Structure 1
Amino acid sequence: MVRPRPMPTLDRRTALKALLAATGLAATPGLAACGSGAAGSDAKSVTFGSNYSDAVPRQAIAAVLDGFKAKSGLGLSINTKDHETFQQQINNYLQGHPDDVYTWFAGYRMRFFAAKGLATDISDLWGQLGDNYTAAQREASTGDDGKQYFVPFYSYPWALFYSKSTWSKHGYQVPKTFDELIALGTRMRADGLVALAAGQSNGWPQLGTFDQLNFRTNGYEFHKSLMAGKEDWKGAKVRAVFDNWKRLLPLYQDNALGRKWEEAAQGVLAGTSGMMLIGSQQIGQQFAKKLDDLDFFAFPEIDPSFGTDTVEAPIDGFMLSRKAANLDGGRKLLAYLSTPEAQLTYLKSDPTSIAASSKVDEGGYNELQRKCVEFVRNAKHITQFLDRDTDPGFAGDAMTNGINSFLQKPNEVDSVLSGIAEQAKSIFAK
C-alpha cells in the first residue's frame, strides 16, 4: 500500500526565532497584520487564518474546511501565510484585523496570547465539546486564569523510537526503569550499535531530552514551574537532572552537535543505531516506506513517585480571536474542528500524528498511530516540548546554548547552570 507522505515539519530553531519576533522579544522591522478577516466578515461568513502553507497540509486543511461549509451552510475564507511568516507576524496580526479563527499551539504559546487579551475565552464552548478530550488535553488548553482558549486538533508524541526488526534481531526488551535503559544501551554498544542516535546541529532536538529527564526526575508540577521561571536553575533538583543526563552521555552517538536529526534518524532506520528520543512526526518521515517497522516506548521511570505519568505530545489546534468579527460563526467552526470527522479528514495527509479527539474511530489508523493514541490517552499530564512551554527567548538562547555547552563539556555543569540561571533571572523578571 502506498502511504501518504507526512506533512513537512518546520525546523524548530527557525520557529523559535519567529516566535521571538512574535512576542516582542526580538525586533523585526516592518511587521504588518497578515489577516484581513475582521474588516470583511459578516454573520454568514467566517474567516480563518492559517499557517498550513506547505502543499500537503494546505490541501488537507482546505478539505476540512470544505466539510465545515457543507455542514454549517456558512461561507468561509482562508487567509494562508507561510508558516514562518505567520509566526513572525502574529503579534501585529492579532492586534490589527485578525481572522475569526486562527491556527496556533497549546502550552505557553497559547497562554501568552490569552494573557495579552488577544484570544476569546471559550470555556462555555468547552462545556459542549470537552468530552472529546482528556483531562490532560483540557489542561494544555487552559490559560493562566483557569479558562479555556484553545481547541486541540492533532498531536504527536515524543518517546524513544526504535526499529522492530533491529530489536528482534538482537533480542532487546523495553526497559522499565532508567537503570534498565542504561543497561540496554550498554548492551547495544557491546553489540556494535550506536545506542542513542543523536543529532543536535538543528539546535532543538536535545531540548526534548531535557524535558523527559526533568519530569521523570522531578515531576510535572516542578517541570511546569521551572519552565515558568519560578524555580532555581542552580538548585539541587535541576542539578539532579544533569547528573542523570551525564549517565546517558556515554550512550550517545559521537559528534551529536555536528549532525542533523534527520541523519541521526537514518541510523535507526538502517539498523546501525538502537534507539532515538524524537517525535513520531519527525522520525516517521524517515520511516515513511517502513512505518510498520517503527515502534516506541515511554522514557523510563526515574523516580517511582512520578512514574511515567507525564508524556510529551505537542498539540496543534485553533484559537478564537478577541477581535473576531463573527464570534458565533467562529465558535461554530471551532466546534466542528473538535470533531472526529474534521480531524480524520486532515490526518489522511499525515500517518505519523494522531487526532486529538478521544472519539475518533481508530479503525483507519496504522499500528503506530493506535499506539500513539493509547500513549497520549493514558497520560496524566501532557507537555508541549520546551520551546512551546516556556518563554521563547529563554528556550532559544539560554536553554539551547546551555545544553550545547553541556554536551561539549559535561564536567562543567556548574558553569552551565549558572549561565542558564543568570539568563532566566533576567528574562523572567520582565
Structure 2
Amino acid sequence: MTQSTPDQPLRLASSTVSRRTVLRNTALGAGALAIPGVLAACGKDSGSSGNSKTVTFGSNYSDAIPKAGIAAVMDAYQKSSGVTVKINTQEHNSFQENISRYLKGNPDDVFSWFAGNRMKFFAAQGLAADISDVWSGLTGFSDALKKAATGDDGKQYFVPIYNYPWAVFYRPSVWQAKGWQPPKTLDELTALCKTIKGAGMDAFAFADKDGWPAMGTFDQINMRTNGYDFHISLMAGKESWTDPKVKQVFETWASLLPYHQQGANGRIWQDAANSVYQKKSAMMVCGSGQIAQSFQGADAADLDFFPYPMINTEFGQDAVEAPIDGFMISKKAKNLEAAKALIKFLASPDAENAYQSKDNGNIPTNSGASTSNFSAFQKKCQAYIAGAKQISQFMDRDTRPDFASQVMIPSLQSFINKPSDIDSLLKNIDAQAKSIFATDN
C-alpha cells in the first residue's frame, strides 16, 4: 500500500462528484444511479473467501492525509496479526455515491462509513453484519458512542474510530495582527463581520457546491436559537418548518450572508478552507477534520476555533456538532471471521493511535487512545467535545437521507441564491417534510 505524506501544506483539489448525488443515491437504495465501474469491482476476486489470512477493506479515505492515516492503521494490523489487508480505496464522494449498489453487489469484507442514521439506513436494509458479539468485548467507549453504533433493532453494526467538532475556525496570526477577538454573541459577531468587510476581507469562507456544507451552518444557528431538543425533533420530522422558530433561524442567517463569500453554490469546501489558509477569508464554519487538511506542518500551529456565538441565552453554546466516523462489516462479507477480527482491532486504542500519527484534525473516540502527542489544537477539540451538554451528528446524519438529499440540499442552495423569500421556502420544505415523514410519525 502507498502512503502519502506531503512535505508542503496540502492544497486540496476539486471533486467532480457532488454530495447531492451521494445523498440522493443513498436514499434511493436499489434504484440508485451509479458511475459504471466505480466500487462494483472492489470485492471481486479478492481471494479472501476461505482464507483467514486475507481480509478486504473498502475505503473512502481518498484524500492524502486520511489515506495515510488508514494506511498506517492497516500496516499496524498486518504486523500484529499476520493477516493481509487488501485496501480498495475509492474517491470519497464516489464511494458514497455508489454505496447501495456496492453493498448489494460484491462488497469488501469491511468498509468505512458513518454512525447514526447513515449506519441505521443500511442496517435496516439487511446490508450490514451484526457485530454485537464484537461489541461485547470492547472497552473504552461511552454509552453514547455505543448508542451511535446501534441499529433500530438494538444490535450493533458499527465501530467508531474518531469524531471531530464543527465550530468557527480561523488563523490566530491574522486576527492578532488586526486586533480582532472571537465573538461570544450574535451582536458581537455581526459587528466583527462589518469590521472584517471594511478591512477588505470576506468574514466567512463559504462553499456549498456539494450541498452539505451549508447544512452545518443551519445546524449551528438552529441549535443556538432553538436548542438541541428542538433541532433533533425538527430533523426527525416532528416539528413544522413554518414554525416562527425556524423562520428566525433563516432570518438570522440572511442577515449574515452579506459577509460570506459570494457564489457559494459554485465552490467546494476545499476552496473555501484554502481561502482561510491564504488569508483571503477571516473564518469558516466547518469541521476540524476538514479544515485541518489545509493547515499542515508549521501552519498547523496557526489554526484555532471558537464555538458558534450565542444567540439565545436559554441555550447558550451548550450543543456541539461532532460527527462520528468508523467502520462496518458488509452482510456479504466473504470472510466474516477475519472481518470481525479486523473490526475489533479498528476499535482499539492501537488503531486510533496509528491513525492519529498521520491526521491531526480528528479526535480518537476510544478513551484508551494516547493523547501524549496531541497538539494544542487537538487538545482543544477534544475538550470542546467532552464539555458539550448535547452532541449532534450533522443534518444529513440526524435526519432521513431522502429528506436531506431531496429537500434540504436544493432548499439551502435556493436560500443562498435568494435569501429574501423565506416564507415560500419554508412552506415548500414543510410540505415535502410532511410527505416524507408521514410513515415515521
TM-score over 0.5 for the pair:
yes
Counterpart mapping for 1:160-239 below 5 A: 160-239=168-247
Name the CA shift for 1:335/1:188 in 2 (closer, same or farther; >3 Å): same
Name the CA shift for 1:86/1:162 in 2 (closer, same or farther; >3 Å): closer
Code of the aligned partner of 1:400: I
- Of residues 380, 395, 398 in structure 2, which corresponds to 1:386? 395
Determine the C-alpha separation between the residues in 2 that align with 1:204 and 1:284.
18
- Of residues 74, 93, 97 in structure 1, which corresponds to 2:102? 93
Code of the aligned partner of 1:207: M
Counterpart mapping for 1:25-424 below 5 A: 27-28=32-33, 32=40, 34-36=42-44, 40-53=49-62, 57-131=66-140, 133-288=141-296, 290-424=299-433
In the alignment, what sits opposite 2:28? 24
Name the CA shift for 1:129/1:379 in 2 (closer, same or farther; >3 Å): farther
Determine the C-alpha separation between the residues in 2 that align with 1:256 and 1:333.
41
Name the CA shift for 1:348/1:9 in 2 (closer, same or farther; >3 Å): farther
In the alignment, what sits opposite 1:428? 437
Determine the C-alpha separation between the residues in 2 that align with 1:256 and 1:286.
19
Determine the C-alpha separation between the residues in 1 that align with 2:13 and 2:157.
25
Aligned length: 429
Name the CA shift for 1:266/1:18 in 2 (closer, same or farther; >3 Å): closer
Determine the C-alpha separation between the residues in 1 that align with 2:362 and 2:11.
10
Determine the C-alpha separation between the residues in 1 that align with 2:16 and 2:219.
15
Q: Deviations over 1:182-204 (max 9, x none)?
A: 23333434455432232334433
| C-alpha displacement of 1:311 | 1.7
Name the CA shift for 1:308/1:328 in 2 (closer, same or farther; >3 Å): farther
**Contact 2:164-2:381 at 8 Å conserved across structures:** yes
Determine the C-alpha separation between the residues in 2 that align with 1:9 and 1:129.
38
Q: Aligned pair 1:14/2:18, yes or no?
A: yes
Moved more, 342-351 or 79-88: 79-88
Determine the C-alpha separation between the residues in 2 that align with 1:134 and 1:265.
32
Determine the C-alpha separation between the residues in 2 that align with 1:130 and 1:175.
39
Determine the C-alpha separation between the residues in 2 that align with 1:417 and 1:257.
20
**Contact 2:48-2:335 at 8 Å conserved across structures:** no
**Contact 2:242-2:426 at 8 Å conserved across structures:** yes
* Structure-2-length-normalised TM-score: 0.84
Code of the aligned partner of 2:25: A
Determine the C-alpha separation between the residues in 2 that align with 1:319 and 1:386.
21
Moved more, 277-286 or 21-30: 21-30
Greater percentage in helix: 1
Q: Deviations over 1:344-382 (max 9, x none)?
A: 222333232332323222222222222222222223443
**Identical counterparts, % of pairs:** 48
Structure 1, unmatched stretches of 5+, are none
Q: Deviations over 1:78-111 (max 9, x none)?
A: 4444444433433233334433322111222111
Determine the C-alpha separation between the residues in 2 that align with 1:6 and 1:147.
40
Q: Deviations over 1:121-179 (max 9, x none)?
A: 33453343242x34443343232334432111123322101110122123332223333
Code of the aligned partner of 1:166: V
* Structure-1-length-normalised TM-score: 0.86
| C-alpha displacement of 1:213 | 1.1
